[in-house]
Structure 1
Amino acid sequence: MSPQTLRRFKLLAVALSAAVLAACASGGSGTASRADGGTTGGVNRYLWTASLETMDFMPLFSVDPVAGVILTDWYANPQVPTERFKANVFILDTALRADALRVSVFRQQLLLDETGQPLRDDQGRLSWTDAPVNPATAAELENAILTRARELRLNSLS
């Protein structure tokens, strides 16, 4: 199975799990949910869906739709294989507001020897070291998620 197919399968599984949990947690009519910002298991459903859609290029490590937590695994852009990123997304509220969302981004660089070859540890794994992240990166991801969440909300009202 290709990494892209596996990633899509994981995203589908997470989305289905979120839908099942939302259905189980739902009590009452959909109009109440729409009035309070569209909650799903304690978090805003638009922020949740937008977060999954925005972060779908990265492999998922752990997701919790009730707590509103998305943790990605390390992702290396094929064009820059000497660095990798991972992100944590936290949905902190049921409201669709900027302060209801926090994204943290982490970056590592591959350690290279003097000949430019990757260094490996005692077990043969590549050696990575933490590196600074541009502070604008997390803000850009937050803005992308918020923009998509607003689009989803507007589409649901139509």
Structure 2
Amino acid sequence: MRFFGKLVELGAALALFILVIMTIAAVFMRYFIGQPIQWTEEVSGLLMIWVVMLGGVVAERDRAHLTIPFVVDMLPHKVKRIIASLVAVLSIGLLVYMAWLGYRLAEMAQYKVTQILKVSWFWIDVAVPVGTLATAVYTLYWLINDVKQGDVGEEKQ
């Protein structure tokens, strides 16, 4: 899991780095040189979707997703454990369903191409199933890990 996590993090960081450099170059070319780079909007959209989806995976890996535990914190420990397990299982189900829908979307868009670069929309839309499946893998990993250690429902730092 460590290698997988680093690979996802590297992908997100690389996509974000390219997005920032490309945006700076596009602004410079448009406003200082007077020659806009035509393809930057398409590539920016593609990279932004990948940054968001891979960033979500990294957040799940680091357990950094936002939670609002004030209601659950008032419950007994045993009930907290049950609710935490149920939330994890429901999250995995939703993520897998979203991956399936995302793949169907990517499949339908595979012959549609972007206007300037002629890149298949498949490569843009496939970010959704990749990101949601990877997030589901980490959610399952944390659920199994917590059940083994007996600390399901405990707040993690």
TM-score by length of 2: 0.27
Q: Which has more radius of gyration? A: 2
Instruction: Please state which structure has a larger fraction of its residues in helix.
Output: 2
Instruction: Please state which structure has a larger fraction of its residues in strand.
Output: 1
TM-score by length of 1: 0.27
Higher RCO structure, 1 or 2 (CA under 8 Å, sep 6+): 2
